[in-house]
Amino acid sequence: MSAEPTDSTNLTGHCYDGIEEYDNPLPQWWVWLFILPIVLSPFYYVYYHFGVEGRSIHDDYKTAVADNLRQQFAELGELKPDRDTLLKYLDDKRWLAVGESVFKTQCVSCHGTNGEGKVGPNLCDDIWKNVYQIEDVTKVVANGAAGKAMPAWGARLHPNELVLVSCYVASLRGTSPPGPVRPPEGKAIPPWKP
């Protein structure tokens, strides 16, 4: 860079190894842009993080998700985890998709992306440990099993989510997931629909 014309009145007077420093202060508006956020940040922090519920974007998100779920479930009413309901939604593609989304967020870490089994058993075969008929699926999901190695979801999922995820799990039976599967555990059970 070409040297600026020297104007000794505009120097700070600092000199380091013969290198002098121009006195070019930052514009006032820039300085305020720097200072204002620092001054405002404690108020922001207190308002959004110690304030009442519902102010942070996380709260907004939770409310939006809950609203959405309520809207979706409005037409279902509250599903009962009984045999007839489970068999009915077992064949309902549209609502199975809701069960699938619960499965993909909560269950794949232990049961594998396609139910092939990882820490938890394979859910695609006819061999089951804690399940004999379709209602048992919801019981295991709601109450857990094996001293909570299979966690209880009863308090963590909406009752309709419990039913729909159970239907989705039941629908995995008889599918052939790609890749390695966990070997069967338990005993062969009769088909869901006798």
Q: Which is nearer to ligand HEC, 88 or 139 (CB)?
A: 139
CB of 117 to ligand HEC, least distance (A): 9
**By the 8 A CB rule, do 156 and 147 touch?**
no
Q: Which is nearer to ligand HEC, 12 or 175 (CB)?
A: 175
H-state helical runs in the chain: 28-49, 57-74, 83-90, 93-106, 108-111, 134-143, 159-172
> The tokens of 108 are what?
């794949």
Q: Which is nearer to ligand HEC, 54 or 180 (CB)?
A: 180
Q: Which is nearer to ligand HEC, 54 or 190 (CB)?
A: 190
- Between the alpha carbon of residue 76 and those of residues 72, 101, 194, the distances in Å are 8, 17, 26
CB of 101 to ligand HEC, least distance (A): 11
- Between the alpha carbon of residue 191 and those of residues 60, 70, 134, the distances in Å are 44, 33, 9
CB of 82 to ligand HEC, least distance (A): 16
**By the 8 A CB rule, do 114 and 177 touch?**
yes
Separation of CA 96 from chain center? 18
Q: Which is nearer to ligand HEC, 46 or 66 (CB)?
A: 66
Q: Which is nearer to ligand HEC, 42 or 148 (CB)?
A: 148
Check the CA dihedral 79-159-188-130 and report its sign: negative
CB of 125 to ligand HEC, least distance (A): 9
Residue numbers at the binding site for ligand HEC (CB under 6 A): 103, 106-107, 109-111, 119-121, 128-131, 137, 140-141, 145-146, 149-151, 153, 165, 169, 186
CB of 88 to ligand HEC, least distance (A): 18
- Between the alpha carbon of residue 179 and those of residues 103, 112, 113, 123, 175, the distances in Å are 19, 11, 11, 14, 12
CB of 137 to ligand HEC, least distance (A): 5
